[in-house]
Amino acid sequence: MTQKRKYFGTDGIRGTVGTPPITPDFVLKLGWAVGRVLKNEHHKNKVLIGKDTRISGYMFESALESGLSAAGVDIALLGPMPTPAIAYLTRTFHAVAGIVISASHNPFQDNGIKFFSGNGTKLPDEIELAIEAEMEKTIKTVAPEQLGKAERVDDAAGRYIEFCKSTIPHNINLKGLKIVVDCAHGATYHIAPSVFQELGADVETIGAQPNGLNINAGYGATQPQALQTAVLYQKADLCIALDGDGDRVLMVDAKGEIIDGDELLFIIAQSRHKAGTLQGTVVGTVMSNLGLEQALEKEGIAFTRAAVGDRYVIEKLQENGGILGGESSGHIICLDRTTTGDGIITALQVLTVSIQMGLPLHVLKTGMQKFPQRMINVPIRPGVEIMSQPTVQNAVRDAEQELNNKGRVLLRPSGTEPLIRVMVEGVELQQIETVAHHLAEIVKKEANK
């Protein structure tokens, strides 16, 4: 059984800025602890640091830089960069690790620290535990001549843009396509438009004026309503909505209909399968729509579910020899292209399928029919235990009986916020709405006791 971690969650360490552990003093010590552990474990002695566009990123970048330097580790500062870009650059720089300062799709008041190994993958549990153990010690600075040096990498964006373009066949271009790209005022603002423009598309950009306070506010993959309006107003062929750190994507077709992560995963999987390049099992999560599972089964494609979180999807892919997995939220992992979820690269894979088949997105997605699904987020106080309450467990059983084996009920704590996610899926929309609201009310009452 994996040892319980004190600070690390499913995707690094995340919380509200100024509230422990997301404070400058903690992050400084975290940088030192990371430097100590990685310096002991490896011969390579450089760590990359990138961030999204939150105003607090400046503060935490400095804190990490100081801690790493005190541990005797060199630092390469990338500035604002998408999370998957840092995974890629960590590999190409042969760095010992990459650090991302980001709270992904959360509002600007939050921030977090997450890590990539030298291979561009998430840190193993044993390394995270070793870092936490080091955090319990008193900081000791190395001798002055051993302090780490810091440098800024000026061409990081250009390197990553070229990598993104290299993930599609050289004979594919986007000429003739009008695309609206929504950068969520986040880390892709200076990268995503260039990728699609350089491949020949006519690009209209929204959500690309970050000011430190507006990341994910009214734009991006978590709030694609702006894109639904933009695609019709601009008379575009499609829209691409990225989140604040660029690791997830949703798309909107020419009719203004949202194409979520399950549908994107289906489109890519079906194409890879027909081309004979799909390997192993396609991996979704417990939140993936039942329609995805049934559509893949119809195509003869094996499918399995992992816990929510990209690290668990990747673990399951590795167990099953798979290359393709993802989440309904638009976090899609193409291990035959890169090592982690990447919104830009995912969009490029889908556009490649569209061009090769000569079909628009609203036709490509018709091979999968989604079941109606309703998810309600119920806020709880941190530390409150809900899932084991008999009242809640009985309510879940009652809900499952009401669906009569023609749907699914799932309650799970969020890995990034103090929420219980109540999800109900079934055949009839009105029924699942009623069941979901009833179940959410019971959870809410228990949470308030």
Catalytic residues: 104
d(CA 162, CA 157): 9
8 Å CB contact between 29 and 67 = yes
Sign of the CA dihedral running 219, 225, 228, 229: negative
d(CA 285, CA 288): 5
Can you tell me whether residue 100 is helix, strand or coil? Answer: strand
Sign of the CA dihedral running 138, 8, 336, 317: positive
Sign of the CA dihedral running 228, 163, 329, 86: negative
Those residues with Cβ within 8 angstroms of residue 287's Cβ, 6 or more apart along the chain or in another chain: 308, 327, 328, 375, 410, 421, 423
8 Å CB contact between 21 and 57 = no
Is the previous residue joined to 21 through a cis bond, with omega within 30 degrees of 0? yes
Structure token pair of residue 77: 């500062």
β-bridge partners, 26? none
Task: Count Cβ atoms within 10 A of the Cβ of residue 22 and give its class: 0-12 exposed, 13-18 middle, 19 or more buried.
Answer: buried
8 Å CB contact between 106 and 216 = yes
Those residues with Cβ within 8 angstroms of residue 325's Cβ, 6 or more apart along the chain or in another chain: 265, 282, 283, 284, 306, 313, 314, 316, 317, 332, 333
8 Å CB contact between 212 and 55 = yes
Region of 145 please: left (phi>0), alpha (psi -120 to 50) or beta. alpha
8 Å CB contact between 191 and 161 = yes
Those residues with Cβ within 8 angstroms of residue 72's Cβ, 6 or more apart along the chain or in another chain: 35, 39, 45, 142, 146, 147, 148
β-bridge partners, 250? 241
